[in-house]
Amino acid sequence: MHGLEKKIFNEKVIEWVSTIFLILGVILTSYNIFPANIWVAFLGNTGWIIIGIIWKKASLVIVSIFLGVIYLSGLFNYYVL
């Protein structure tokens, strides 16, 4: 693989792994498996923040950051409060 092909491949890997993590997070939420659901979804969401930055999509970055803050507040609530 050459430079551009490798970059595109890496983006696709991040994109799909992040998508799988988000889907798994939703599945864990539907079975009320807490706090694993938040950790898994947070990891997927972090990948989408990275993709949004790479693609220079402000809307994707902003939505993902807000979701990340919500996930972190849930983790804070679980572990600290």
Residue predicted with more confidence, 70 or 8: 70
Structural domain of 54: 15-79
**Mean pLDDT across the chain:** 96
Q: Does the pTM of the predicted model rise above 0.85?
A: yes
Is position 1 within any domain?
no
Give me the number of domains the chain comprises.
Answer: 1
Classify residue 42: in a domain, yes or no: yes
pLDDT digits (tens, 9 = 90+) for 5-25: 888 899 999 999 999 999 999
Contact of 37 with 44, CB cutoff 8 Å: no
Q: Tell whether 5 is covered by a domain.
A: no
Q: Is the residue at 10 inside a domain?
A: no
With respect to residue 28, please indicate whether it lies within any of the assigned structural domains.
yes
Question: Would you tell me how many other CB atoms lie within 10 Å of the CB of residue 53?
Answer: 13
Does the residue 4 lie in any domain?
A: no
